[in-house]
Amino acid sequence: MNHNNQDLFNKLHFDGFVLFPIDNKNELVNYCINEIKNVSEEKIKEGFYLDRDAAVGKEGLAADLKPSVFEYDQNLEKFYTEIGVVDFLEEFQNFKSSIATLQLRGAYDGSSYLSWHRDTHYYSNAKEPSGNVPPIFKSIFYPNLHGNSSRPTLHVSNGSHLRYFKNKNVDLIVPRTPFFKKTKVFESNDYVLVFNTSILHAVLPVSGPPIFRMIAAFKSPQSKN
pLDDT in tens, 80-129: 999 999 999 999 999 989 999 999 999 999 999 999 999 999 999 999 99
Q: Quick one: 3-219 is in which CATH superfamily?
A: q2cbj1_9rhob like domain (2.60.120.620)
pLDDT at res. 179: 87
Q: How many Å apart are CA 173 and CA 193, to the nearest integer?
A: 23
pLDDT tops 50 at residue 24: yes
C-alpha torsion 56→113→165→20, nearest 10: 90
The candidate with the shortest Cα–Cα distance to 37, out of 111, 85, 104, is 104
Question: pLDDT tens digits, residue range 184-212?
Answer: 999 999 999 999 999 999 999 999 999 99
Return all residues near 54 (Cβ < 8 A) that are at least 6 apart: 63, 64, 66
Q: How many Å apart are CA 62 and CA 51, to the nearest integer?
A: 8
pTM passes above 0.85: yes
pLDDT at res. 217: 97
Q: How many Å apart are CA 207 and CA 54, to the nearest integer?
A: 22
Question: pLDDT tens digits, residue range 207-225?
Answer: 999 999 999 999 877 655 5
Mean pLDDT of all residues belonging to the chain? 93
Query: Mean of the pLDDT values across residues 163-178?
Result: 93
The type of residue at 211 is I
Residues in the chain: 225
pLDDT at res. 1: 43
